[in-house]
Amino acid sequence: MIEQIFDPKTRQHILTTGITVKWQCLEVGAGAGAIAQWLATVVGDSGKVIAVDLDTRFLANIQSSNTILIRTYAQEPRNLVWRPNPYYSHYEIDY
């Protein structure tokens, strides 16, 4: 899997930022969500992770209370409209 090849280096790079509890993180192009899940554990319950992707099917398994999933519908934002999804703990962006 791609995660097995690239995630260790990605985590190492992110750790050089000094990331710690209470941080608020944005992952654009979250893919399968492995990095978003890892970020959620690093920032802890007092932090926040926002994971954005065009296709959030693979992100639906993230169970972290400090993670917000955002599904985008286009690649170039025009008028952003944030809609809470009542069935999942994520938002959708229309633009």
- Asked if residue 62 is part of any domain, the answer here is yes
- Global model pTM greater than 0.95: no
User: Can you give the pLDDT at residue 59?
Assistant: 86
**Phi, then psi, of 11 in degrees rounded to 5:** -60, -45
How confident is the model over 33-87, as pLDDT tens digits? 999 999 999 999 999 998 888 888 888 888 888 888 877 765 555 555 555 555 5
Asked if residue 35 is part of any domain, the answer here is: yes
Per the structure, the complete domain to which residue 34 belongs is given by: 21-94
Q: Is residue 49 part of a domain?
A: yes
pLDDT reported for residue 95? 44
**Contact status, residue 87 vs residue 66, Cβ threshold 8 Å:** no
- Residue 11 maps to a domain: no
pLDDT value at residue 40: 94
Q: How many domains does the chain have?
A: 1
The CATH number of whichever domain residue 88 belongs to comes to 3.40.50.150
